[in-house]
Structure 1
């Protein structure tokens, strides 16, 4: 079902692009006042504006519906929420149990071979040239 909706979505997007490219711009009516022969068109003297705008609106609505449908299908496929929450809590508890805690007043242990010097003992490279 997802593949069918995806194909309809793609075809709708391409149809919207085509319909927009077929529409005339607002400045295109200027030639009609000089006898451009708009009354001899297939869609009548009013032009194709009403036809193209209606078809574009229908295609845009279909595109919106397929977008929402694909989003709902994608949401249903993702396993997030109550299913994964207990596993995350167990991992968090396991990680917290491995980290030793330091109580107030206790001295922080130093890594073996580590120096207890201060931060001012760290050499800083001279970048000014």
Structure 2
């Protein structure tokens, strides 16, 4: 289903991870959106994690795709979060666009799975936290 720069895998009973390696430019936001939507559909109540730790570049379409998927997951009461490198350009743009108001941003998969917020980050309520 995924391109070589984009992979989806079940990492546990609790999570599906969509990993991005390389650039998220050249209108790859559409492919990202498609894979994330597919992961949300198959997650069946599990957390969906957009692992963006391997992103080397991005454009506004990638951020827009993340925002669209975050809004859709909220409407459907599904859990969705993102992993980003601390102090990366991607994280800085995500904060400046207030993407962190739509989805939790973590620095590690273990923190995402545990729901442990990163120091200084906004706490975004996910449906799993609400019980």
Instruction: Tell me if TM exceeds 0.5.
Output: no
TM bucket normalised to smaller = under 0.3
- Greater helix fraction, Structure 1 or Structure 2: 1
With normalisation by structure 2, the TM-score equals 0.22
CA radius of gyration, larger in = 1
Structure with higher strand content: 2
Higher relative contact order (CA 8 A, sep 6+): 1
Given the two structures, how large is their TM-score scaled by the length of structure 1?
A: 0.22
